[in-house]
Structure 1
Amino acid sequence: MSKEFFGGFGSGFALLVVLFILLIIIGTSYTGGCVY
């Protein structure tokens, strides 16, 4: 992994990962711990 790859794509990918984790946390809290 080069720094150019991590700087260009990595930042956007990290943001998507954070949003995805937040979605999982919110989803589990709404469904009482069961996502599916």
Structure 2
Amino acid sequence: MSYSGGYGGSSSFALIVVLFILLIIVGTSYVGGY
């Protein structure tokens, strides 16, 4: 677990947030399709 730049924690948090938003968008578009 090596970090480069010193922002490894925040970048992983941002990645989780992006994945969560993407999941919401896909979920709403899937429901909206019906």
Normalised by the shorter chain, which TM-score bucket?
0.7 to 0.9
Amino acid in structure 2 at the alignment position of 1:4? G
Structure number with the higher helix fraction is 1
- What is the alpha-carbon root mean square deviation over aligned residues? 1.2
Aligned match of 1:26: 27
Aligned match of 1:8: 9
Percent identity (aligned): 27
1:24 deviates by: 0.4
2:6 is paired with a residue whose SS is: helix
Please list every run of 5 or more consecutive structure 2 residues that lacks an aligned counterpart in the other structure. none
Count of aligned positions: 30
Please list every run of 5 or more consecutive structure 1 residues that lacks an aligned counterpart in the other structure. none
Scaled by the length of structure 1, what TM-score is found?
Answer: 0.70
